[in-house]
Amino acid sequence: MIRDDGPFDPDQDPDQDGDAAQVIDLDSARRRDASQPEPNTADRSADGDNGDGGDDASDADELELDGVEATARRGGARARLTPDGVRSASRRPIIPPWARSRAAFTAAVAWFVKYWTYALGYHATRAPKYAGRLLARAPRGAARTLTRAARHVLDAEGHPVRMAVAGAATVRIEEAHTYLRLSQQRDQRVRVRIIAAAFIGLGTSGGGVALWRYGHPWTHWATLGAAIVAFGLAGAPDDAPLLDTPITVHKVPRLTGPIVTRALAVAVPAIREALGKDPGAVEFVDDIQRDGPGYRATVNLPHGVTVGHVMGKRPELASGLRRQLGCVWPEGDPRQHEGRLVLWVGDRDLAERRGKKGLAWKLARSGAHDVFTPIPYGEDPRGRPVAVPLLQHNILIGSIPGQGKTGVVRVLACGCALDATDELWIHELKGSGDLDPLGQVAHRFVSGIDDESIGYAADSLTLLRAEVVRRVGALKRLPRELCPDKRVTREIANRRSLRLHPLTCVIDEVQNLFLHATYGKQAADDAEFIIRIGRAFGVSLILATQRPDKDSLPSGVKGNVSIRICLYVPGQVENDMILGTGAYKRGVNAAALRPEIDAGIGYLLGATAAPTVACAAYLDGPATELVARRARVLRQRANTLSGYALGEAPEQTARTVAAASLLTDLLAVVPASDDKAWNQTAAARLAELRPEVYGGWAAEQVAVALRPYGIVVQDVWGTDPATGKNTTRRGFIRRHVLDAVAERSRPSGEEGPK
């Protein structure tokens, strides 16, 4: 506290007045403060003592700024260090994150060199502009320099003091003596400074004349240039610097305790209510500090409030912080209790940091990968790398169209392709060709939305199920010293003779398979079996859908996948279909993402200890082609190319066997006397002819099987053998089957009769 004890007397001894000053023993004061208990704010609040004696219930709902500041000060205070506290405390890293690995250090150095190269080039191209500015500002700088020198010589800076003392002398006569002393002091200063200025002026003039007369011409220009630079810098206006700014810095307000507490109170009613009762309900575990391109605040939420309550109110929290939605990312700390909130607030929106070209993929230009380690995926909001494990897992990806789902599939599939031991099965059931470059390394590959393509994908699941069953027996027969945990390891995978290498099956637009009238039910059953059993035997599924609903995702599939990636979806139902029941209520809400703006950004569940927001790296068509070519070279060296990549015919299944002999078998079961036949009649006769191939076929499967041959299924008049009644049902004309057989047996290039 500052006291006003009247005019200061320099001749007075401070010890003569005990009230004028006080010497405080700081150590004693600190010990005294430490021994005093802190007032119980919760008790005061419960007693209704709010400072104004009122007990109005409505005051509990109001959160004033003073209360928030008090909360931030109390919560932000550091706990006293004790031996136990030091032993259990989390140690901060000695080496900064950018210097912990060679890759991070190289990236930091590359950024430094790149930035300064750009800055130097930027300023070099503007050198004539800067020279013009200096030349224009030099006269003003010379005038400023001379004016400042004259004011210094004449002691102009002391003029206000002398005038103030002269004014006081008209009231108090003793001030006249002070004015006389100041005037004498000024005269002495001016006398010395004039002499010094004269010598400096004569020396400068003499040196300038000598340099001009005897110096080399280049010294003349150098001296003139130095003078222009010096006077130009002196003449620069305060609001107009000489150099232009090569970058635009996004200045954001510093994140503080009061701002965070106020935003939490605005966003979550339970927190607002708790703060109304106890201003210290929100506790800051550590100082708010910089963490990458943003600020990190670690907070203990009020009792009974979980991190999910805050995550579910992210838009309201962003509004309270006055930041863009893509800057605010609350999350929990899986190593702590459910009320520990880690709030990260970025300087820039995550979508802006991603840019129009997307994030670069770590393996886009060079390198191989081992699928027994997580696949590089992208970055989290803090700029930290995110990777997705594949072995021992199955992955489900979902979003509405246009949100980057296929881009995510590309990244994961390319990671698998760069492991020469991973057998890759690719099924792109949209027909857009987004995954076509990977056909050169795939064992099985198809791209299309027609029945044949969907049937091919169904065959893959059938074959994969049989492969899982084979691997179960093969793994059992391995000696315990090679396979102690009965799981496929890298050592086992490298022994190609065991045929227990990793196998990854990718199905994009999987809803087209599961919703198919003929193949959907069996495909769903096969997929569920593979997901439940195959992961321990090196078999993984990557499924992607743009229609996350109960019909397109069978419960056995969505309930057993271990890793889920959800980009933007329109609502709670779709969100929980991908991320699991209850995810929306826990605050893991992909519906809060912004359509198109946040393309490629989504929630990643199962790859880390806690749900993570991640922005996937982006690979366009040419980049995917380069990765696929590099992957093919790796596989050629390892001699692991097979199947489609070598132009080999696909493995046969009951469906493909039936397709090869279907026309001949139909002619066998439909006699020449019958010019027409119902599909259901043909299905029953085919099952009798070859039950191992056609067993279980129905009328719909016959129609689908005939479609690739151009045979039109139509209404056919016939007699029901069970009832003897004439009626119309779906069937085909036998002559069309004969025409199809003739067409298939015709040599290539030969035209049929017209």
Which pLDDT score is estimated for 369?
95
Residues in the chain: 754
Rounded Cα–Cα distance for residues 324 and 349 (Å): 6
Question: How far from chain centre, in Å, is Cα 579?
Answer: 17
Interval 551-571: pLDDT, tens: 788 888 988 999 999 999 998
Q: What is 354-646's CATH number?
A: 3.40.50.300
Stated as kind and residue range, the H or E segment containing 683 is helix 679-689
List Cβ neighbours of 703 (8 Å cut-off, separation of 6 or more).
679, 713, 730
The one-character DSSP state at 90 is P
Question: In the beta sheet, which residues pair with residue 331?
Answer: 342
The whole-angstrom separation of Cα 14 and Cα 35 is 32
User: Burial letters for 531-564: b for 16+ Cβ neighbours within 10 Å, e otherwise?
Assistant: beebbbbbbbbbbbbbbbeeebbbeebbebbbbb
Q: Quick one: which of 43, 79, 48, 42 has its CA closest to 275?
A: 42
What local confidence, expressed as pLDDT, does residue 248 receive?
Answer: 67
Q: Which alpha helices (H) appear in 78-126, and where do they start and end?
A: 83-88, 102-125
Whether the Cβ atoms of residue 535 and residue 503 lie closer than 8 Å to each other: no
For residues 142 and 294, what is the distance between their CA atoms, to the nearest angstrom?
Answer: 45
CA pair distance 17, 36, nearest whole angstrom: 31
Q: Which residue is it, tokens 């074959």? A: 463
Q: pTM of the prediction?
A: 0.64
Query: Which residues of the chain have a pLDDT value below 50?
Result: 1-26, 29-78, 748-749, 751-754
357 CB-contact burial (10 Å; exposed 0-12 / middle 13-18 / buried 19+): exposed
pLDDT in tens, 271-313: 999 999 998 899 999 888 888 888 999 999 999 999 989 998 9
* DSSP element (H, E) containing 437: none
For residues 690 and 696, is the Cβ–Cβ distance under 8 A? Answer: no
Domain boundaries, given as residue ranges, for the chain: 127-234, 354-646, 654-745
Q: What is the pLDDT of residue 665?
A: 85
Angle at 234 between CA 231 and CA 236, to 5 degrees: 110
Order of strands across the sheet that contains 375-379: 385-388, 375-379, 612-616, 601-605, 563-566, 395-398, 539-545, 503-508, 423-428, 444-447
